[in-house]
Amino acid sequence: MSVLPSIIPDDRLAGLSNEDIVKYSRHILLPQVGPKGQERLKAAKVLIVGTGGLGAPLALYLAAAGVGTLGIVDFDFVEASNLQRQIIHGVRDVDRPKVASAQDRIRSINPAVDVVTYNTRLTSANALSIIEDYDVVADGTDNYPTRYLVNDACVLLGKPNVYGSIFQFEGQASVFYAKEGPCYRCLYPSPPPPGLVPSCAEGGVLGVLPGIVGTIQAAETIKLIVGGGDSLIGRLLLFDAWEMRYRELKISKDEACPICGKRPSIHELIDYEDFCGLTQGDGEEPIEDICATSLKERLDAGDRIQLIDIREPHEQAFAPFPGAKYIPLGQMARRVGEFDEQADAVFLCKIGQRSKFAIRALREAGYKGKLLNLRDGVNAWARDVDPSLPQY
Catalytic residues: 200, 349
- Residue 272 one-letter amino acid: Y
d(CA 2, CA 158): 17
Cβ(20)–Cβ(167) below 8 Å: no
Helix (H) / strand (E) containing 248: strand 245-250
Spatial contact of 11 and 17, defined as CB atoms under 8 Å apart:
no
Measured between alpha carbons, how far is 196 from 194 in angstroms, rounded to an integer? Answer: 6
Classified as helix, coil or strand, 243 is coil
Give the sign of the dihedral formed by CA 197, CA 378, CA 77, CA 210.
negative
- Which amino acid, one-letter code, is at 288? E
Q: Cβ distance 237 to 12 under 8 Å?
A: no
Q: How far is CA 222 from the centre of its chain?
A: 21
Indicate the DSSP class of residue 373: E
- In the chain, what is the straight-line distance between the N-terminal and C-terminal CA atoms, in Å? 43
Distance of CA 110 to the CA centre of its chain: 26
Spatial CB neighbours of 199, under 8 Å, sequence gap ≥ 6: 142, 143, 353
Alpha-carbon span 273 to 276, nearest angstrom: 5
CB 55, CB 71: distance < 8 Å: no
